[in-house]
């Protein structure tokens, strides 16, 4: 509803004969003072109408915008999930949805966190996963048991004695201790009762 639309609606409610009728298309306004007054009312009503219309969008995360999106995040996450400088509504909405409905407890979740934190894929090694630990086997029959032989470079030996644990290598380009934020995010997606041993490495080669 527009400003002029509201002005015409109010004008139509005035008693017949008090003021000239509203002009038709191409006609000259015969009551400019009245029209100015009604246009002022119409401006206020149109603003209220627009606010009510936009309020409908602010009742759903999928359509929220601006400050309403920030308030939604503050209600659910306090100060732990604030909008980044210059971050768009769509990008912020995506982060809110990921925080509301996180994927947790799987190996891909750990892999995704590492990639997000480091900016490139890391390496996850589960001692009980034969795909990760291919050091068991023989040089003469490298495919036996899925392994490639003792003493082969970069291969690892698995163990069934360390269940619910993994080793994560982060190719950060240095060997400093992993960032606290990275460790926290990995811990947040790990299942309860599991352990991740995390190491920064210069390269995965």
Kindly report the number of other CB atoms within 10 A of residue 162's CB atom: 14
pLDDT on residue 110: 94
For position 154, what pLDDT does the model report? 62
Q: What is the pLDDT of residue 136?
A: 62
Per-residue confidence (pLDDT) for residue 5, from 0 to 100: 87
Look up tokens 């290598």; give the residue.
Answer: 169
Strands 195-201 and 123-125: unpaired
Of 110, 181, 11, nearest in space to 102 by CA: 110
pLDDT averaged over consecutive 10-residue blocks of the chain (205 residues)? 88 86 85 90 91 88 93 93 92 91 90 90 88 67 56 71 91 92 92 94 87
**Per-residue H/E/C for 113-139:** HHHHHHCCCCEEECCCCCCCCCCCCCC
Whether the pTM exceeds 0.75: the reply is no
In angstroms and rounded to an integer, the radius of gyration of the C-alpha atoms of the chain is 32
What's the pLDDT score for residue 29? 84
């Amino acid at each position: 509803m527009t400003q002029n639309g509201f002005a015409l609606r109010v004008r139509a409610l005035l008693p017949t004969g008090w003021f000239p009728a509203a002009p038709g298309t191409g006609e000259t306004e015969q009551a400019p003072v009245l029209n100015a007054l009604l246009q002022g009312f119409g401006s206020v009503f149109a603003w209220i109408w627009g606010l009510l219309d936009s309020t409908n969008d602010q009742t759903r995360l999928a359509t929220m915008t601006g400050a309403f999106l920030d308030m939604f995040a503050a209600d659910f996450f306090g100060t732990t999930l604030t909008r980044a400088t210059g971050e768009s509504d769509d990008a912020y909405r995506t982060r809110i949805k990921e925080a509301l409905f996180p994927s947790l407890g799987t190996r891909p979740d750990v892999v995704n966190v590492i990639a997000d934190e480091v900016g490139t894929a890391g390496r996850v090694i589960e001692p009980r996963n034969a795909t990760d630990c291919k050091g068991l086997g023989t040089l003469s029959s490298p495919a036996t048991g899925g392994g490639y032989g003792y003493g082969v470079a970069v291969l690892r030996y698995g163990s069934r004695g360390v269940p619910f644990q993994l080793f994560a290598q982060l190719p950060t380009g240095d060997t400093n201790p992993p960032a606290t934020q990275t460790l926290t995010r990995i811990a947040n997606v790990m299942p309860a009762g599991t352990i991740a041993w995390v190491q920064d490495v210069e390269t995965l080669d």
